[in-house]
Structure 1
């Protein structure tokens, strides 16, 4: 048995190979290769291949199913950390991990630039109806089906950001370059120090979501998916938006009620929308695909070399620090205060 602490890589490390090689001198790195869920559970028993693993690098679970309570309960007793590859960690059963004293980390910050750029692209496309125009150009139908009457410049439009975390702030910086007016809603105002680099009075806090919806020409969603946010943006929220406004979602598909979105597009409450995420990825609702007022991307938010290298590096850093000190770098909000350094 190895004298080094063991780490199980679930998925692959594609870009942070130098960081992984450096970590391999300190830790015993294993790779998930179980052919199915049953054999993985067997390997997690005390005398099994993964029976002494103390940390998991989580970037998917090939062949072994979802990270649900059954999965968590079968993990080895030695496991202390699940380091998730991504800012959103909704695939993991947080309650089950917390009950077993397993820390979960994520990768906030590493995804900010890539996701914010996608959000800005979707905003511009939604306002200018660029997706429809691009499609017609590819079909050889120059400017057919396009009209200035349904296109708008972003300048001086009000952008409402729901969730002013790292991605929301990165989007705000980009949107200010287009002279958009920025308002945002969180449960609480952002710490002023996080807005210090913004021009004075360029970002305004809305105490309620309704207040934001009533003012915004474009609403951009940046909230995690959990029990409280599942389909939280539905018919009531669309009806409170300005008529002819736009919705952009780069968060998680599940936070939007798709039927209500389609209804809002059909009745003219929304002029257009831009989506990078969907509830049943990789499947996309055929009704969304058929709607020519929607710009759709296949979850491209972090599909850049810089984002992926950054995310992988952060995952490895969480594992390294977590095993050395007892506390990961990026503790998820649900577990704040549950763990401490040793």
Structure 2
């Protein structure tokens, strides 16, 4: 790159919390622009003002949602025409309308961080499975109230129980190995059956069979228009009495009100949740139920994992501006690269 040649412009949405060395290295090869906006309305105006003209790539964090809101058709239309790449720092990308990005001419290519989160999220998943099965939350609650163990319902051992995984992606496959170490039998349902190598011997079943035969149901699928409320009142009706339900995916893949009803009726013995439909707001029926183990979206909340996620997203930016290709385009756009 000659000394007179302008560096490519990169827009940062959100902030870098951990991977400062990688960010400093990236800023050597690009010019970074920061929005001044604190609301979506202002951000749209800022985009339309021409301030970001010439920007080629954007680095985006989960927490930038507070400034931009959903990256939907309106926002995609407001972005400068020069913006070609959007590197999102997270595995889930439900805050981005991929169809709107793909429909742009030329398309806005989106990348996520697909595997850096697997271990940390599956660990929390396993913690919730054990905690919900053993009904630890009720005992912990009693202890803090000065009632020693109180009278929680007796829990269950994981050994010999059937774990049904809905969504056998990287996190689901990682969870499978961990659950098997605790003596659980793993079945799964996906849109498509995995190869024997990928599934690791887990049995593929229909959606209805997953619902009716799982002792523990774990939700590990992305949130999109097809999966919103995939677990609701009719699905709970098909489950075993006393089933345990765990969700580390996105809150809205399950109808929370229907879960509360199923817990109140005893259909669901207990639940372990890391994600909620209207975060940070939690359904009062979940807060008030001692048989529910609640964690405030801490699935990837470790220093090591957050560094790895940021570095991965930055690598996507670096490759985009130096080679025109993303390291990990979202599956919907693999053919558009």
So what's the TM-score if we normalise by structure 1? 0.92
Gaps of 5+ in 2: none
Give per-residue Cα distances to partners, 1:89-111, cap 9 Å, x unaligned: 11112222111110011111011
Contact 1:72 1:96 in 2 (8 A): yes
Aligned to 2:75: 71
Which structure 2 residues correspond to residues 201-240 of structure 1 after superposition, within 5 A? 201=201, 203-206=202-205, 208-240=206-238
Aligned to 2:116: 110
Aligned to 2:148: 142
Q: CA deviation at 1:259?
A: 1.9
Q: CA deviation at 1:308?
A: 0.7
Aligned to 1:316: 314
1:19 paired with 2:25, answer: no
Measured in 1, the distance between the counterparts of 2:215 and 2:44 equals 51
Aligned to 1:58: 60
Q: CA deviation at 1:43?
A: 3.8
> 76, 87, 92: which is aligned to 1:88?
92
Aligned to 1:179: 183
Q: CA deviation at 1:51?
A: 1.1
Question: Could you say if the C-alpha distance between residues 157 and 35 of structure 1 is closer, same or farther in structure 2, counting changes exceeding 3 Å?
Answer: closer
Measured in 2, the distance between the counterparts of 1:131 and 1:93 equals 37
Alignment length (residue pairs):
330
Measured in 1, the distance between the counterparts of 2:43 and 2:279 equals 25
Q: Over aligned residues, Cα RMSD in angstroms?
A: 1.7
Contact 1:83 1:106 in 2 (8 A): yes
Question: Could you say if the C-alpha distance between residues 138 and 35 of structure 1 is closer, same or farther in structure 2, counting changes exceeding 3 Å?
Answer: closer
Contact 1:10 1:62 in 2 (8 A): no
SS at match of 1:291: coil
> 185, 188, 193: which is aligned to 1:189?
193
SS at match of 2:335: coil
Contact 2:19 2:307 in 1 (8 A): yes
> 88, 98, 103: which is aligned to 2:102?
98
> 263, 286, 301: which is aligned to 1:265?
263
Contact 2:131 2:137 in 1 (8 A): yes
Question: Could you say if the C-alpha distance between residues 2 and 8 of structure 1 is closer, same or farther in structure 2, counting changes exceeding 3 Å?
Answer: farther
Gaps of 5+ in 1: none
Contact 1:42 1:48 in 2 (8 A): no
Question: Could you say if the C-alpha distance between residues 32 and 245 of structure 1 is closer, same or farther in structure 2, counting changes exceeding 3 Å?
Answer: same
Q: CA deviation at 1:34?
A: 2.7
Measured in 2, the distance between the counterparts of 1:114 and 1:333 equals 22
Contact 2:50 2:80 in 1 (8 A): no
Contact 2:211 2:239 in 1 (8 A): yes
Aligned to 2:171: 167
Contact 1:11 1:32 in 2 (8 A): no
> 300, 303, 306: which is aligned to 2:301?
303
Give per-residue Cα distances to partners, 1:48-88, cap 9 Å, x unaligned: 33111111111114544432221111101100011111111
Q: CA deviation at 1:147?
A: 4.1
